[in-house]
């Protein structure tokens, strides 16, 4: 930086290309010789009231006894400003970083240093319950967009000095701040190192959401339609994962927090499981696994049985189904594909259109497309029922919705072409793919394959808290993870 205030201001103005939100409040400080100073802010990022009360008023009211600009700056820092967060810096890069983060910059003529004063006051969404992870019992708090608030939500739940937040900046243009969050004593150093390396290798220009980073965090050579990166908007879920040795990545500007490593069985766990009684939690878990299988396989099996193996239907059902199918003009495979496709279109439309119009879409979907198509004989009622049942089941494990949708189509097409034989072979491909997948060196199918009896207390069932609390199994201690292997050898 320069010693001249004018030069510094000109440089910053040039850097921000005289942007409309770049504001400079120039002033003269009362000292033996009047000294020029300026407060630089980005409009909307700072609280004007706080700037006026804790920066401008004290500065203008104070009579400086020192004559040197450097000493005046020290005096301002130690005796004048009432703000709790004041950082000194001397580069233009830091000036850009602080100003875009909501700090007010104080520049004094005659010194090549500046002060960044914490007066952040931008508007943001308040802490509210995340709509995608609603629970019956438990906290109603969800993450919000500002990073610092999300950090607070975690810190409030884990009041331990073990909890570490580590800052990383990604995105050459967006300069998005990330916070690696972990428990020092629980986390595996190898896992942490891998995450740091992968984030440092990220060469994106902008990072606006968690989805931008997930592909960089996946293990190389384990391509799959299932994700090895977990996402949650709930602080209680993230805290639970942290205690198991996982790492959370908080991203400034998004409420979706990345959790690593992420396993298949975690998709079936929810906060409610740990609030409910163990027997009911176990029942819900089994229900979720069954729903997953129904959502993936039911339309495909229906297609395969109806087209190739009608003898597998019980007699009563066979009569009803064949009556229903024979009355429609399309082959059963095409019928299932079309109905599933139409359902996906309606779902997507329902998500995107304004809420008041949602009811209209429901009516059109249910009455016009559903009932009218059946009564007109375009589609069979049994097919509609199968697709509807699969669709409802897919929402039971909502984080798995994307892979479920793709697999459902795959099995319908394979079942329609090759019958049950094709479905079994396609299942082999999917299972092999899932078994070969790893998340930061931890097998994605851990607890099931490789099988771990100890972990079974929280897979198909949820054991009671007395046995769960006996020992928390750290994620790096799962069988056949790269870290546990390295430890033993």
Partner 1 sequence: MQTKIKFPSKRLLLLIFLAGVSVILLESFEIPKGTSFLFDLLTLISGFLITALFFIPSAIIKSRTDLDFMSFAHIKTPNAIIFISAFYCMYFVYTAEYFLIKYCDMFSNKLNSEANIFAVALVLLAVCIYAAYKGTNAIARCSIFIFVFSFIVFVLIFAGNISNLEINATNFSFRGQKTDFINNTSFFLTPAFAAVIFAVLSGYTKNFRPRQIVYSIIITTIIFALILFFTTFALGEYAFAQDYRCFLLSKSTHFGDLDGFDSLYLSISVLTVFLVISLILTCICKSTGKSSSLPIILVFSIIIFVLFICANYFNAVKELLINHYLFNILTFVSAVVIPTFYLIAFRRRLNG
Q: List the interface residues with partner 1, window 308-327 (CB under 8 A).
A: 308-309, 311-312, 314-315
List, as one string, the DSSP characters of 142-172. Answer: ---SSHHHHHHHHHTT---TTEEEEEEEE-T
CB atoms within 10 A of CB 139: 15
Residues 6+ apart with CB under 8 A from 403: 225, 226, 227
- The interface mask with partner 1, positions 220-249, x = CB under 8 A, is -x----------------------------
* Segment interacting with partner 1, rule: CB under 8 A, options 236-244, 379-387, 389-397, 446-454: 446-454
* Segment interacting with partner 1, rule: CB under 8 A, options 9-17, 20-28, 34-42, 426-434: 426-434
Q: Which is nearer to partner 1, 407 or 445 (CB)?
A: 445
Helix 381-394 vs helix 278-307: crossing angle, to nearest 10: 150
Residue 304 to residues 93, 356, 486: CA-CA distances in angstroms? 63, 40, 46
The residue to which tokens 């509210």 are assigned:
128
Q: Which is nearer to partner 1, 15 or 435 (CB)?
A: 435
Binds partner 1 by CB under 8 A, chosen from 358, 424, 465, 467: 424
Q: Which is nearer to partner 1, 247 or 301 (CB)?
A: 301
What is the spatial distance between Cα 307 and Cα 310, in angstroms, rounded to a whole number? 7
Q: List the interface residues with partner 1, window 118-147 (CB under 8 A).
A: none
Least separation in angstroms between CB 178 and partner 1: 29
For the chain, how big is the Rg over CA atoms in Å? Answer: 29
Binds partner 1 by CB under 8 A, chosen from 162, 431, 464, 487: 431
Contact by Cβ (8 Å): 55, 38? no
3-state secondary structure (DSSP) of residue 414: helix
Q: Which is nearer to partner 1, 301 or 374 (CB)?
A: 301
Binds partner 1 by CB under 8 A, chosen from 338, 449, 468, 473: 449
Least separation in angstroms between CB 224 and partner 1: 11
Q: Which is nearer to partner 1, 179 or 332 (CB)?
A: 332
Q: Which is nearer to partner 1, 394 or 481 (CB)?
A: 481
Contact by Cβ (8 Å): 448, 442? no
Least separation in angstroms between CB 333 and partner 1: 17
What is the spatial distance between Cα 25 and Cα 12, in angstroms, rounded to a whole number? 14
Q: List the interface residues with partner 1, window 460-479 (CB under 8 A).
A: 479
364 binds partner 1 (CB under 8 A): no
List, as one string, the DSSP characters of 95-116. Answer: HHHHHHTTEEEEEETT-S-EEE
300: nearest Cα among 202, 430, 180: 430
3-state secondary structure (DSSP) of residue 378: coil
Binds partner 1 by CB under 8 A, chosen from 287, 353, 428, 465: 428
* Segment interacting with partner 1, rule: CB under 8 A, options 109-117, 183-191, 261-269, 447-455: 447-455
Q: List the interface residues with partner 1, window 379-418 (CB under 8 A).
A: 418
482 binds partner 1 (CB under 8 A): yes
**Helical spans, DSSP H, in 315-460:** 315-326, 332-352, 355-363, 373-375, 381-394, 401-418, 420-436
290 binds partner 1 (CB under 8 A): no
480 binds partner 1 (CB under 8 A): yes
Binds partner 1 by CB under 8 A, chosen from 334, 435, 456, 468: 435
Binds partner 1 by CB under 8 A, chosen from 445, 458, 477, 478: 445
331 binds partner 1 (CB under 8 A): no
Q: Which is nearer to partner 1, 177 or 481 (CB)?
A: 481
Q: Which is nearer to partner 1, 11 or 222 (CB)?
A: 222
Contact by Cβ (8 Å): 48, 13? no
What is the spatial distance between Cα 438 and Cα 471, in angstroms, rounded to a whole number? 24
Least separation in angstroms between CB 485 and partner 1: 5
From edge to edge, which strands make up the β-sheet containing 22-29? Answer: 22-29, 35-42, 103-108, 114-118, 86-89
Least separation in angstroms between CB 437 and partner 1: 9
What is the spatial distance between Cα 259 and Cα 214, in angstroms, rounded to a whole number? 10
Strands 114-118 and 103-108 turn out to be: antiparallel
Least separation in angstroms between CB 93 and partner 1: 42
Could you tell me the two tokens for 467?
Answer: 């046995």
The residue to which tokens 């046995």 are assigned:
467
Least separation in angstroms between CB 337 and partner 1: 20
286 binds partner 1 (CB under 8 A): no
Q: Which is nearer to partner 1, 378 or 418 (CB)?
A: 418
Give the binding site for partner 1 (CB under 8 A).
Answer: 221, 308-309, 311-312, 314-315, 418-422, 424-425, 428-429, 431-433, 435-436, 438, 443, 445, 448-451, 479-482, 485
């Amino acid at each position: 930086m320069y010693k001249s205030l004018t030069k510094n201001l000109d440089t910053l103005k040039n850097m921000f290309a005289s942007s409309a939100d770049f504001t400079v409040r120039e002033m003269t400080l009362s000292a033996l010789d009047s000294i020029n100073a300026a407060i630089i802010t980005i409009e909307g990022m700072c609280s004007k009231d706080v700037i006026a009360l804790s920066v401008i008023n004290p500065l203008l009211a104070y009579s400086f006894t020192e004559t040197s600009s450097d000493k005046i700056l020290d005096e301002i820092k130690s005796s004048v400003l009432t703000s709790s967060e004041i950082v000194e810096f001397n580069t233009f890069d830091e000036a850009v970083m602080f100003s875009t983060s909501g700090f007010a910059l104080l520049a004094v003529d005659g010194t090549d240093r500046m002060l960044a004063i914490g007066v952040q006051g931008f508007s943001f969404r308040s802490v509210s319950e995340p709509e995608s992870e609603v629970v019956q019992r438990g906290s109603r708090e969800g993450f919000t967009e500002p990073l610092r608030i999300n950090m607070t939500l975690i810190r409030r739940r884990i009041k331990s000095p073990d909890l570490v937040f580590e800052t990383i900046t990604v995105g050459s243009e967006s300069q998005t701040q990330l916070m690696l969050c972990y428990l020092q004593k629980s986390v595996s150093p190898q896992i942490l190192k891998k995450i740091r390396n992968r984030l440092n290798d990220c060469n994106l220009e902008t990072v606006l959401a968690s989805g931008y980073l997930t592909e960089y965090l996946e293990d190389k050579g384990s391509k799959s339609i299932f994700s090895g990166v977990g996402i949650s908007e709930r602080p209680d879920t993230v805290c639970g994962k942290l205690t198991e040795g996982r790492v959370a990545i908080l991203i400034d500007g998004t409420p979706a927090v990345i959790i690593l490593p992420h396993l298949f069985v975690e998709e079936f766990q929810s906060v409610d499981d740990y609030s409910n009684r163990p027997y009911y939690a176990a029942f819900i878990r089994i229900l979720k696994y069954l729903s997953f299988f129904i959502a993936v396989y039911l339309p495909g099996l229906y297609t395969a049985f109806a087209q190739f193996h009608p003898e597998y239907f019980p007699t009563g059902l066979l009569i009803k189904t064949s009556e229903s199918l024979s009355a429609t003009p399309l082959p059963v495979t095409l019928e299932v594909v079309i109905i599933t496709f139409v359902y996906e279109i309606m779902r997507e439309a329902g998500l995107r259109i304004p809420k008041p119009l949602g009811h209209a879409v429901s009516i059109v979907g249910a009455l016009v497309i559903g009932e009218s198509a059946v009564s007109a004989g375009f589609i069979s009622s049994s097919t509609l029922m199968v697709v509807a049942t699969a669709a409802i089941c897919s929402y039971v494990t909502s984080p798995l919705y994307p892979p479920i949708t793709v697999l459902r189509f795959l099995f319908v097409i394979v079942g329609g072409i090759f019958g049950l034989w094709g479905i079994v072979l396609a299942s082999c491909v999917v299972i092999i793919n899932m078994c070969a997948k790893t998340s930061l060196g931890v097998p994605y199918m851990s607890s099931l394959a490789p099988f771990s009896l100890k972990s079974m207390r929280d897979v198909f069932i949820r054991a009671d808290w007395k046995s769960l609390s006996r020992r928390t199994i750290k994620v790096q201690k799962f069988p056949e993870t790269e870290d546990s292997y390295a430890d033993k050898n």
